[in-house]
Amino acid sequence: MSDIVSITLGYELAAAGEPQLRNPFFEVLGAVRQEGSIAGAARRLGWSYRHLWGYLKEQETRHGRSLILWDKGRAARLSAFAEKLLWAETRIRARLAPQIENLAAEIGRELTVAFDDAAPIATCVASHDLALPRLRALCEAADGVLFDLRFAGSLEALAALRAQRCLFAGIHLPCSRPELARRGSALHRAFAPRLRLGREKLIQVGRRTQGLMVPTGNPRRVHSIGQLRRLRFVNRAVGTGTRALLDELLRAGGVEPGSVPGYDRIESTHLAVAAAVASGQADVGFGIQAAAVEMGVDFVPLVVEDYFLVCDRATLDGPAARSVISVLASAAWREAVSTLPGYDAHDAGRVRSLRRTLPWYASDPA
């Protein structure tokens, strides 16, 4: 096999759910790693032992390298090459999660309109989040509303709302820690100029926990922002709410960004940050707890933040907003969010004013 790898992508029409980029070869390697034996992996995959053994031998011949260490008297385990392949694929999927979601949303929107040009569509550009795909599925199941979700940075989402390219913009702010979003903070400087007081409203989606992602067992004993000066770090991009929150935490902790090794190393999603830590490419990252758990790394909680959908107040009178708010206030949404570590549906569906909610307005006269 050539060292240059080419791929072909395809898609299927399916019921509402989270789009996935899947490959049977990597699912097999993942099952062997997870189960620690060929027999266990076969059970996990629903294959016979003989079929899985033959498949692995066939793939070893195809790739010209060993995938499994077949030592007599020991359980089969992945070779170093197979581990390297599996981690590379894990990082790629984590990094491309928003693009996959965006592509699936665009295809779904166009095909939905082809089936029914009267179908109600709620367009949303949002900061990357693991709960919003579940909101999309519930909206479609409950009211037949297409929650047309595209992931981008928080500031790009607000720019899309201002340009009327969407009805909702998904952002997140640490309202439970008002000192982090006071006037003059990194969060205030980033968000305040892009929000229109008196014209826009906030719809509460829920809350989620952000913190430090560290390898299993936390071998470096990381517990605070101040320790980042001596660790290999992986960051989020400028323009994301998570990056603005981190910058404010660094300022509050007296840590200069330039003193953090890897501060300029960027990953595009929470999952990609967690994958970098899980694969040993970084000692620590900053992101949401649910992503850390999904990638099997440990988590040090630092901030509980609120996630909102921002919309024009006139949008609240339309069918799209009524459907979204109804779903957010439902028991089904509370149940969906409850299975994501670090999330809760606190006040979900509640409509809030900017002035009464955002910390930098706290000292303003009512």
pLDDT tens per residue across span 206-233: 999 999 999 999 999 999 999 999 999 9
* 321 within domain boundaries: yes
What is the C-alpha separation between 316 and 311, in angstroms, rounded? Answer: 8
pLDDT of 310 > 90? The answer is: yes
What is the C-alpha separation between 311 and 317, in angstroms, rounded? Answer: 11
β-strands 284-288, 233-236: how paired?
parallel
Domain tally for the chain?
A: 2
> What is the model's pLDDT at position 185?
93
If asked whether residues 226 and 285 sit together in one domain, one would say yes
pLDDT of 7 > 70? The answer is: no
* 9 within domain boundaries: no
Print the domain residue range for 348. 92-361
**Could you tell me if 306 and 323 are in contact, meaning their C-beta atoms sit under 8 angstroms apart?**
no
Question: Around Cβ 341, how many Cβ atoms within 10 Å?
Answer: 16
pLDDT, mean over the chain = 88
pLDDT of 197 > 60? The answer is: yes
> What is the model's pLDDT at position 16?
57
* 4 within domain boundaries: no
> Phi then psi for 352, rounded to 5 degrees?
-125, 155
Query: In CATH, what number is assigned to the domain containing residue 34?
Result: 1.10.10.10
Average pLDDT over residues 164-185: 95
Average pLDDT over residues 136-165: 90
Say how far residue 140 (Cα) sits from the centre of its chain: 21
Question: Around Cβ 249, how many Cβ atoms within 10 Å?
Answer: 24
* 282 within domain boundaries: yes
CB within 8 Å of 103: residues ≥ 6 apart: 19
> What is the model's pLDDT at position 13?
64
Q: What is the token pair recorded at 287?
A: 């992101």
* 86 within domain boundaries: no
In the chain, which ranges are E strands?
A: 68-69, 77-78, 121-126, 146-151, 168-173, 200-214, 233-236, 266-267, 284-288, 298-312, 343-344, 351-353
Closest CA to 112 of 69, 65, 148: 148
What is the C-alpha separation between 152 and 131, in angstroms, rounded? Answer: 15
If asked whether residues 114 and 242 sit together in one domain, one would say yes
State percent of the chain over pLDDT 90: 60
Q: What is the token pair recorded at 136?
A: 């999309």
User: At 135, which helix (H) or strand (E)?
Assistant: helix 132-143
- List Cβ<8 Å contacts ≥24 apart for 107-113: 107/11, 108/146, 108/148, 109/146, 109/148, 111/13, 112/146
Query: In CATH, what number is assigned to the domain containing residue 301?
Result: 3.40.190.290
Average pLDDT over residues 103-128: 74
If asked whether residues 68 and 96 sit together in one domain, one would say no
Q: What is the token pair recorded at 144?
A: 């037949």
pLDDT of 195 > 60? The answer is: yes
* 255 within domain boundaries: yes
pLDDT of 1 > 50? The answer is: no
What is the C-alpha separation between 366 and 356, in angstroms, rounded? Answer: 8
> What is the model's pLDDT at position 24?
84
Q: What is the token pair recorded at 297?
A: 């790394």
Average pLDDT over residues 115-144: 84
If asked whether residues 72 and 123 sit together in one domain, one would say no
Choose one of 54, 78, 102: the last residue of a domain: 78
If asked whether residues 175 and 74 sit together in one domain, one would say no
pTM: 0.79
Q: What is the token pair recorded at 316?
A: 């609240």
Average pLDDT over residues 259-266: 95
DSSP string, 310-365: EEEGGGGGSHHHHHHHHHHTSHHHHHHHHTSTTEE-TTTT-EEEHHHHSGGGTTS-
pLDDT of 99 > 80? The answer is: no
If asked whether residues 64 and 100 sit together in one domain, one would say no
pLDDT tens profile 31-60: 888 888 888 889 999 999 899 989 998 988
